[in-house]
Amino acid sequence: MDGGNSLKILYVETLDAMCISWSKFHTSVFLFLGIVPGMRAYPLGNIDLQVTFGDHSNFHTETLIFEVVNFERSYHAILGHSWYAKFMAVSNYTYLKLKMPGPNGVIMVSGSFK
């Protein structure tokens, strides 16, 4: 979660691990500045993916457009602040918790310090 930008980034290694074909990419018009210090960076394209939080009894699903990049990574994806509004999510970085409303109560996602 990155509350400081609006980008939604998916790394190509993550996309490959999900067995999603590169043929589903769309041409991206984005140019990243400040992601790679002193250089312009271009995504490989973008892709529409359904993202779901919760379980079968209480979940929230939205379609998000991710910019697909071939950068070295520490994460699987980065979700910028625009998705918080779409899911009406609130995060607590101290406790690595994410909460959002679901049809049957609050959905809580817990992170790991590992």
Q: DSSP letters along the chain, please?
A: -BTT---EEEEHHHHHHTT--GGG-B-----EESSSTTSEE--SEEEEEEEEEEETTEEEEEEEEEEEE----SSSEEEBHHHHHHHT-EEETTTTEEEEEETTEEEEEE----
Predicted confidence band of residue 18 (pLDDT cuts 50, 70, 90) = very high
Q: Give the pLDDT of residue 35.
A: 64
In a domain, 72, yes or no: yes
Residue span of the structural domain in which 42 resides: 8-87
- Digit-coded pLDDT (tens) for 36-86: 666 777 888 999 999 999 999 999 999 999 989 888 777 788 888 888 889
